[in-house]
Amino acid sequence: MDIKKKDIRALTKVQLRDFFETQGDKAFRGNQVYEWLWNKGAHTFEDMTNLSKETRQMLEDHFVINHIKVDVMQRSSDGTVKNAVRLHDDLIVESVLIPTKTRTTACVSSQVGCSLDCKFCATARLKRMRNLNPDEIYDQVVAIDRESRLYFDRPLSNIVFMGMGEPLMNYNNVLKAIDKITSPEGLGMSPKRIVVSTSGVPKMIKKMADDDVKFKLAVSLHSAIDEVRTSIMPFNATFPLADLREALVYWYEKTKNRITYEYVVWEGINDKRKDVDALVQFCKFAPSKVNIIEYNPIDDGEFQQARSEAIDMYQKVLEDNNITVTIRRSRGKDIDAACGQLANKE
Ligand code: SAH
């Protein structure tokens, strides 16, 4: 690949129009190309059949179209599909299609590897790391939408940013991708069907609230006690719970959008009554609900799913305090497609 050529999909529609004008052509060609790229998903300039041969060649001389490629697709016995997605520089990320009776959810990645260091997550162990571009995020969604139509006869209904990476550490590109996903020129999906999941970067949560975003927010809490949280999510030392709490209150006041706390209960780490009590207190700061997710082991046995008595205790105490709690079972474990298992094993 010629690295001097620019990825054409990094250009906005206005920039494309300007480009054609500087070439002495009509600005509306920019609209045509934009439509090819985003509505019709063209992979080559050759595909753009309403442009002259000369125009297509001219584009070829200036730009590349860096499409992702689904390298390996694995299907789980429970219907979950995992894509290993090859990027233009040969790095790989993973995305997952999770079907239920009524929905198809895409779980997409926002970074190659992750900038954070959660002890229980396989992605944190990857060495290579870069942010994904908006089109690399968008393409993952388009690929899963296609698979959903093919295997389940229906379009994609929901998106969660719970694949590899910390979306708020790649905020601008995630936002651009979501713009494309929700725009009528892209997939036209409602932002209410999109969840951005973060480990909790206070400054960025406030920024999202200021930007008046319409998607939903999930926070991977796992403990409401600083000491415990820092031991399993070391960046909590930099962004302690008091700062997170303040940002979440700010988020709720601005957006009036309820927050979801994701929470894994591990044996001997956060399975005691004091852990539940701290969570109950934390939940009172802003309207919220709790998703207790099953732990998906990542090889070394340092962490273990808590016993069911501990999960039952969480459920009871939360419900007694009028906090909505759901207990989620993992999907796609047999193909390492469950939360925290994405790490390009192949
Ligand atoms: N960085 C973002 C999104 C990616 S992780 C975030 O932290 O929210 C998606 C979810 O999977 C998070 O809630 C994360 O805490 C959880 N997770 C990570 N490793 C896990 C594991 N081994 N088992 C179960 N859940 C895990």
Question: How would you write the pLDDT of the chain (346 residues) with one tens digit per residue?
Answer: 445 788 999 899 999 999 999 999 999 999 999 999 988 888 899 999 999 999 999 999 999 998 889 888 899 888 899 999 999 999 999 999 999 999 999 999 999 999 899 999 988 888 778 999 999 999 999 999 999 999 999 999 999 999 999 999 999 999 999 999 999 888 899 999 999 999 999 999 999 999 999 999 999 999 999 999 999 999 999 999 999 999 999 999 999 999 999 999 999 999 999 999 999 999 999 999 999 999 988 877 789 999 999 999 999 999 999 999 999 877 777 777 777 676 765 5
DSSP H helical segments within the chain, as ranges? 13-22, 28-38, 53-62, 134-152, 171-182, 202-210, 226-232, 241-255, 273-283, 308-320
Which residue owns the Cα nearest ligand 1 atom 20? 340
Using CA atoms, how far apart are residues 37 and 167, in angstroms rounded to an integer? 24
- Helices 273-283/308-320 angle, 10° precision: 40
CA 302 to chain centre: 26
Contact 80, 94 (CB under 8 A): no
Look up 94 and say whether it is catalytic.
yes
| Phi and psi based region of residue 174 (left: phi greater than 0; alpha: psi -120 to 50; beta: remaining) | alpha
Which residue owns the Cα nearest ligand 1 atom 11? 339
Which tokens hold the place of 337? 């497609």
Which of the residues 118, 121, 283, 339 is marked catalytic?
A: 339
Going from the Cα of 22 to the center of ligand 1, the distance in angstroms, rounded, reads 47
Going from the Cα of 263 to the center of ligand 1, the distance in angstroms, rounded, reads 9
Going from the Cα of 155 to the center of ligand 1, the distance in angstroms, rounded, reads 26
CA 7 to chain centre: 22
CA 165 to chain centre: 8
- Helices 13-22/28-38 angle, 10° precision: 130
pTM over the 0.85 mark: yes
Tell me the sheet residues that pair with 292: 263, 327
Residue 70 parent element (H or E): strand 69-75
Atom of ligand 1 nearest to the CA of 197: 8
CA 212 to chain centre: 19
Residues composing the chain: 346
Contact 201, 149 (CB under 8 A): no
Using CA atoms, how far apart are residues 91 and 84, in angstroms rounded to an integer? 10
Going from the Cα of 164 to the center of ligand 1, the distance in angstroms, rounded, reads 9
Which residue owns the Cα nearest ligand 1 atom 18? 340
Which residue owns the Cα nearest ligand 1 atom 3? 162
Going from the Cα of 3 to the center of ligand 1, the distance in angstroms, rounded, reads 34
Which residue owns the Cα nearest ligand 1 atom 26? 340
Using CA atoms, how far apart are residues 220 and 134, in angstroms rounded to an integer? 23
Which of the residues 35, 46, 94, 136 is marked catalytic?
A: 94
Which tokens hold the place of 331? 């999907």
Using CA atoms, how far apart are residues 140 and 71, in angstroms rounded to an integer? 12
Greatest Cα pair distance, the chain, in angstroms, is 72
> What is the 3-state composition of the chain as percent helix, strand, coil, each rounded to the nearest 5?
40, 20, 40
Look up 253 and say whether it is catalytic.
no
Buried b (16+ CB within 10 A) or exposed e, 43-72: eebeebeebeeebbebbeeebbbbbbebee
Using CA atoms, how far apart are residues 252 and 255, in angstroms rounded to an integer? 5
Choose which residue among 140, 171, 220 to substitute to test ligand 1 binding: the one with the highest number of ligand atoms within 8 A of its C-beta: 220
